[in-house]
């Protein structure tokens, strides 16, 4: 297991595979692996960047999805891409420069590592990894083979969020001592779906890949795989990882927390879902704290934001001189202005704790955006592919893995039902807690095994 210093510095090694260097005007030849709902989004977004890239290969375990993807690429004006059932064929193709991986969570790490080993650059969807250990292996592979690996954390390329975090770094609310991440996404019961024969044209073995073999059910397949521990990470690792990343970004934390404590459960529903639909987590640091909350029930907004139905995702940052509300709609900064006089306090009916008046001093609106700024995030990836400089990536693999690991810590604490504390100076290992340490990785199903040496 890599230690903290290795994770953050990751000395680059000479790549064992060499491929032609692309010029600034060359189009990146792309393979798309995973052609479900998010995969179709990738085809559309890359289609908007046709001056920068060309989709030359598509891959999925579902034959119908492959055929649909070929038609979509042609409708965007591209030539018919090659179809593949096995992603390793895409990685081995000399026609492909880079791959985009809108796959289920449990496939992210192994697919990324295989691609890096084959000399391909990678755009991988969030969360970067399904477990902690394999995320560190992704970083090691990216550095060893000198690959550009961008994680789909689009907030890092969202203009108003970049401006907001810069304000925090410049001290707009003083020293930031607390971040609060919110993932309030209204969801509904997935019901119960019994085992049934695998649909024609679907390779169920390849879909499960590193996960244990299970009977096919509709809930374990399309989208609802998010709510099973074998293949997903619940909403903290689905929608929540976006806010987790922004919380760490605004708090300025690149290290691991000293300890993590989660509480929650799967309330209100009696169905197939395994992951919690309500989860509250606290991360402890020597000089700050971060809290994170998931709720899949109707919920009002917090922090003075504008209500938008029953969904709300965003972050609150608290500093010595005020607080910031940051969400997809924009950001607002409220700063402490003056102390109220005794007469003003009595007139307002305020107690001793209400002596500060806060005023909104800065406000930024979200720019017109489509798909969480995915298209410019992908353009940033393509530019890095051409420049061969991973530091130009807005969401380099280290950033994406860090956010994912925090989500995994939250889930691990929830699953063992106690506070978990990292050992000091011993990599990512919990102190005196073999049950929690066992959840840092998984028993991979052969032959889909994340290698110990990448």
**pLDDT 10s digits, 261-270:** 999 999 989 9
Mean pLDDT value of segment 297-312: 70
Q: Order of strands, edge to edge, in the sheet holding 121-124?
A: 82-84, 53-59, 28-33, 98-101, 121-124, 149-151
- Please provide residue 301's backbone torsions phi and psi, each rounded to the nearest 5 degrees: -70, 165
- Please provide residue 121's backbone torsions phi and psi, each rounded to the nearest 5 degrees: -80, 160
Reported as a pLDDT band with limits 50, 70 and 90, residue 176 is: very high
On the question of pLDDT at 307 being above 90, the answer is no
d(CA 381, CA 151) in angstroms, rounded, equals 9
d(CA 443, CA 117) in angstroms, rounded, equals 22
Instruction: Please indicate whether residue 416 or residue 4 has the higher confidence score (pLDDT).
Output: 416
Pick the range with the lowest mean pLDDT from 107-111, 300-304, 379-383: 300-304
On the question of pLDDT at 204 being above 80, the answer is yes
On the question of pLDDT at 379 being above 90, the answer is yes
On the question of pLDDT at 110 being above 50, the answer is yes
What is the predicted pLDDT for the residue at 25?
66
Mean pLDDT value of segment 61-79: 95
On the question of pLDDT at 273 being above 80, the answer is yes
Pair 405, 135: CB distance under 8 Å: yes
Cβ neighbours for 333, distance < 8 A, ≥ 6 positions apart: 167, 172, 173, 322, 323, 324, 360, 361, 362, 363
pLDDT tens digit string along 216-238? 999 999 999 999 999 999 999 99
314: nearest Cα among 335, 332, 298, 297:
332
Pair 357, 337: CB distance under 8 Å: yes
On the question of pLDDT at 349 being above 80, the answer is no
Instruction: Please indicate whether residue 109 or residue 3 has the higher confidence score (pLDDT).
Output: 109
pLDDT tens digit string along 39-61? 999 999 999 999 999 999 999 99
Reported as a pLDDT band with limits 50, 70 and 90, residue 342 is: low
Fold designation for 159-187+235-365 = Dihydrodipicolinate Reductase; domain 2 (3.30.360)
Task: Centre a 10 Å sphere on the Cβ of residue 280 and count the other Cβ atoms it contains.
Answer: 16
On the question of pLDDT at 302 being above 90, the answer is no
Query: Right CATH number for 4-156+377-396 from 3.20.20.70, 1.20.140.150, 3.40.50.300, 3.40.50.720?
Result: 3.40.50.720
Reported as a pLDDT band with limits 50, 70 and 90, residue 82 is: very high
What is the predicted pLDDT for the residue at 341?
57
Mean pLDDT of the chain: 90
What is the predicted pLDDT for the residue at 11?
35
What is the predicted pLDDT for the residue at 194?
98
What is the predicted pLDDT for the residue at 7?
44
Ranges of each domain in the chain: 4-156+377-396, 159-187+235-365
Mean pLDDT value of segment 194-205: 98
Mean pLDDT value of segment 320-326: 93
Distances (CA, A) of 122 to 91, 114, 154, 189, 277: 10, 10, 15, 34, 31
Q: Length of the chain in residues, anyone? A: 454
On the question of pLDDT at 133 being above 80, the answer is yes
Instruction: Please indicate whether residue 341 or residue 70 has the higher confidence score (pLDDT).
Output: 70
On the question of pLDDT at 272 being above 80, the answer is yes
Pick the range with the lowest mean pLDDT from 15-24, 41-50, 153-162: 15-24
Q: Same fold for the domain at 4-156+377-396 and the one at 159-187+235-365?
A: no
What is the predicted pLDDT for the residue at 299?
85
């Amino acid at each position: 297991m890599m230690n903290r210093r290795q994770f953050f510095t990751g000395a680059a090694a000479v790549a064992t595979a060499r491929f032609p260097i692309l010029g600034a005007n060359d189009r990146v030849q792309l393979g798309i692996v995973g052609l479900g709902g998010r995969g179709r989004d990738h085809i559309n977004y890359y289609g908007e960047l046709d001056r920068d890239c060309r989709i030359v290969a598509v891959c999925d375990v579902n034959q119908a999805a492959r055929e649909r993807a070929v038609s979509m690429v042609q409708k965007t004006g591209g030539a018919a891409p090659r179809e593949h059932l096995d992603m390793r064929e895409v990685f081995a193709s000399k026609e492909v420069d880079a791959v985009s991986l809108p796959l289920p969570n449990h496939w992210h790490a192994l697919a990324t590592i295989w691609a890096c080993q084959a000399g391909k650059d990678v755009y991988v969807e969030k969360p970067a990894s399904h477990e902690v250990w394999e995320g560190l292996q992704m970083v090691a592979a990216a550095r060893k083979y000198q690959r550009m690996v961008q994680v789909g954390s689009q907030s890092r390329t969202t203009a108003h969020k970049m401006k907001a975090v810069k304000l925090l770094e410049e001290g707009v609310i003083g020293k930031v001592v607390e971040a609060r991440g919110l993932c309030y996404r209204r969801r509904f019961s997935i019901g119960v779906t019994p085992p049934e024969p695998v649909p024609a044209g679907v390779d169920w073995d390849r879909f499960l890949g590193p996960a244990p073999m299970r009977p096919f059910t509709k809930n374990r397949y399309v989208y609802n795989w998010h709510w099973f521990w074998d293949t997903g990470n619940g909403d903290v690792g689905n929608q929540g990882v976006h806010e987790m990343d922004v919380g760490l970004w605004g708090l300025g934390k690149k290290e691991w927390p000293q300890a993590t404590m989660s509480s929650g459960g799967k309330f209100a529903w009696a169905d197939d879902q395994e992951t919690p639909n309500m989860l509250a987590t606290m991360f402890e640091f020597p000089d700050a704290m971060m809290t994170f909350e998931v709720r899949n029930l109707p919920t009002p907004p917090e922090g003075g934001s504008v209500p938008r139905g029953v969904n709300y995702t965003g972050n609150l940052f608290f500093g010595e001189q005020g607080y910031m509300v940051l969400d997809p709609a924009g950001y607002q900064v409220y700063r402490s202005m003056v102390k109220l006089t005794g007469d003003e306090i009595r007139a307002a009916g305020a107690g001793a704790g209400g002596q500060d008046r806060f005023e909104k001093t800065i406000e930024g609106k979200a720019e017109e955006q489509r798909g969480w700024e995915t298209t410019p995030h992908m353009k940033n990836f393509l530019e890095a592919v051409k420049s061969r400089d991973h530091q130009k990536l807005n969401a380099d693999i280290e950033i994406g893995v860090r956010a994912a690991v925090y989500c995994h810590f939250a889930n691990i604490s929830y699953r063992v039902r106690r506070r978990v504390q990292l050992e000091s100076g011993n990599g990512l290992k919990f102190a005196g807690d073999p049950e929690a340490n066992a959840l840092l990785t998984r028993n991979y199903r052969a032959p889909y095994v994340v290698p110990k040496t990448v």
